[in-house]
Amino acid sequence: MSLGALVERHAQLEKRGVGFYRGLATRFASHATAARLWREMSNTEASHFALLELAQDWIAMAGGASSAPTDALDAVAARMSEIEAAAEAVDTTLEAAVALTADWEEIELPRILELVPHLPGKAQGLVLAGMVAESPEHYRILAELAKATDVPAVVERAAALAERARTALG
């Protein structure tokens, strides 16, 4: 697959994140804090989508001829579908939805970190700055969501994600 097509596929996965978090915000609107935090997470996913769309332009300007592996992306997309289905299940509780949020984030960071080395310099810098460097704030919101909904295990998972992002930045 061409690098441009691969980045477009990643952008579409970010767009799915927008819908995933908006859906949770709507479904659990009666918990005002959780709904607000899921909307914030949705906005972050929208910015990731925009960054990857811009990265495609930089790839095209750099020649766009390179290719990148896609094997793991199919498994990620399948896992995202499982998480989405679980979130939409009638019996999914608020606490379970928060845990599914952590599941979602735990597959997103490795996916982006796997993509970055394949990007040309300018696009690589954009994605690192706009997605990886800002991710500790995104995970702070996840931890706040977990605290607001009394899901302490997700607080720990958010901290581990933030640490992984910081480590990736060097």
Q: 66 pLDDT band (50/70/90 cuts)? A: low
Give the model's pLDDT for residue 69: 63
The pLDDT value given to residue 58: 83
CA distances from 151 to 43, 86, 143, 165 (A): 22, 17, 9, 22
The structural domains of the chain, with segments of one domain joined by +, span 3-169
pTM of the model: 0.93
Query: Is a pLDDT exceeding 60 seen at residue 65?
Result: no
- Return d(Cα 13, Cα 51) in angstroms, integer: 13
With tokens 């990643």, the residue in question is 10
Which tokens belong to 93? 């509780």
